[in-house]
Amino acid sequence: MFNGSPMLWFYFQHKDSDKPRKSESEICEEFLDTRFRKSTFPVKNFVLNVNGDYVLSNKMVKYPLVENPKGHPAGKVFSQVDGNSTIRDILLKLNLEPSFKEISDLRLQLTTLSFPYLLCGK
């Protein structure tokens, strides 16, 4: 449903920024040449109690809660992330030559706030 969502994605930058504005194509190229590590961190969440109220749980849970679907291209890429290989290297290893749209989708499905599965660096 991610691509079917009515949400729009925006990138903001001050007009007086000294950095040139990057195209989506440039952003995807940088994504391909980046080394990522798998993201995991503890969080507390709210749970429904017997009174029907949401209360902060005392238990820590590992987030993200589930790994990316194994059969999905993003899941295949995720399974190969080791902190040393670039996404381009991983795609070559998996014998995948994705289109610009597929690369953009991978980036969105692995590295955004909606899908925080990967972090830059080791």
Distance of alpha carbon 121 from alpha carbon 65, whole angstroms? 21
What's the whole-number average pLDDT of the chain?
Answer: 85
The verdict on residue 55 lying in a domain is yes
Phi, psi of 105 (to 5 degrees): -60, -45
How confident is the model over 57-85, as pLDDT tens digits?
Answer: 998 888 776 655 566 788 889 989 999 99
The verdict on residue 83 lying in a domain is yes
Q: Tokens 């295949």 identify what position?
A: 76
The verdict on residue 20 lying in a domain is no
The verdict on residue 98 lying in a domain is yes
Q: Are 34 and 77 in contact (CB under 8 A)?
A: no
Task: Report the number of distinct structural domains present in the chain.
Answer: 1
Query: How sure is the predictor about 4, in pLDDT bands with cuts at 50, 70 and 90?
Result: low
The verdict on residue 54 lying in a domain is yes
The verdict on residue 38 lying in a domain is yes
Q: Which domain, by its residues, includes 75?
A: 25-120
- Whether cis (ω within 30° of 0) applies to the bond prior to 42 is no
pLDDT at residue 10, rounded to an integer: 66
pTM above 0.95, yes or no: no
Residues 6+ apart with CB under 8 A from 43: 60, 61, 63
Q: Which residue has the higher pLDDT, 81 or 116?
A: 81
Sign of CA dihedral 67, 1, 7, 46: negative
The verdict on residue 112 lying in a domain is yes
Query: How sure is the predictor about 52, in pLDDT bands with cuts at 50, 70 and 90?
Result: very high
